A and B are shown apart, each in its own frame.
Chain A
Amino acid sequence: GAGVSQTPSNKVTEKGKYVELRCDPISGHTALYWYRQSLGQGPEFLIYFQGTGAADDSGLPNDRFFAVRPEGSVSTLKIQRTERGDSAVYLCASSATDRGRDTQYFGPGTRLTVL
C-alpha cells in the first residue's frame, strides 16, 4: 500500500518568507508526527497529532512554527518569517495509534533551505 508522502521534496526560500510543508499519512493511521533533522543528527520531535488534535506540541521551537490536521488525515506544518537556522529536513511519520509498539512509518522528508 501507499506509504507516507510529503510535498514538496525540496523547498528553497528566502529569509523572512512563509512556507508550508505537507504530509499525507498512511490511510487509516490516527497518529501523525513531525520531526526535524539537521545534517548529521538524529531527528528531533516537533509535534504530534492524535486525530485532529495536537496531543503534544512541546517540540515546536517557537511561535513561528505551527501545524494543523483539520480532518484527521493530511497535516500541514507552517513556518512564518523563516530564518536560516530553520534549514533542515522535515520528516513526517504516521502510526496506526500513538500507543505501545505501534511503529512510526516515515515519509521521505522535505528538505528546506532558507537563504
Chain B
Amino acid sequence: AQKITQTQPGMFVQEKEAVTLDCTYDTSDPSYGLFWYKQPSSGEMIFLIYQGSYDQQNATEGRYSLNFQKARKSANLVISASQLGDSAMYFCAMREGKGSSNTGKLIFGQGTTLQVKP
C-alpha cells in the first residue's frame, strides 16, 4: 500500500497567486514527521518545511505553510505569492516513528510538478 500519495501530477498557478499541493499519508504509528522538498530542474532536493505529528500548530516557513489535518491524514503544502522560481517538482515525504521518536528513512510520494505562469 502506498504510504504517501500525491494525486496531482501537474499544477499550474499564476504568478503572485497562492497554490496548494496535496499530500495524504498512511501510517499506524502515532509518531511521525512530514517533510516537503522542492526539486528544480537542476535535480537537487531542497528542504522546505517540516511538520511533526505531535506539533500543535501548523508549520510555516516564509511563503510556505503546511495545512496539517491529522484526522484526515493530509499534509498539504501551501505556497503563497507564487514566483517564477517556484516552478519545480515538489515531493511530500514521511518519516515513521519507532516508539516515542521517529527515526531514519524518508518515504516519498510521486511528486507534483508545479509551473508558475507569468
Contacts and interface: CB of A to CB of B under 8 A. Distances in A.
Contact of A43 (B47, B50, B91, B102): B91
Nearest to B93: A42
Interface residues of B, number: 25
B14 interface: no
Interface in A14-50: 33, 35, 40-45, 48
Interface string B90-112: 01010000000111111111110
Contacts, number: 62
A38 to B, nearest CB: 11
Interface stretch (A65-73, A74-82, A102-110): A102-110
Interface residues of A, number: 26
Nearest to A44: B108
Given A103-B35, A103-B50, A108-B43, A56 B105 contact: yes
A84 B66 CA distance: 39
10 closest Cβ contacts across the A-B interface?
A: A42-B108, A106-B45, A45-B105, A98-B103, A103-B47, A43-B108, A108-B44, A42-B91, A99-B101, A101-B50
Interface of A: 33, 35, 40-45, 48, 55-56, 59, 89, 91, 93, 98-101, 103-109
20 contacts: A33-B105, A35-B108, A41-B110, A42-B4, A42-B108, A43-B91, A45-B106, A45-B107, A48-B104, A55-B103, A98-B104, A100-B101, A100-B102, A101-B33, A103-B50, A104-B35, A105-B47, A106-B37, A106-B44, A108-B42
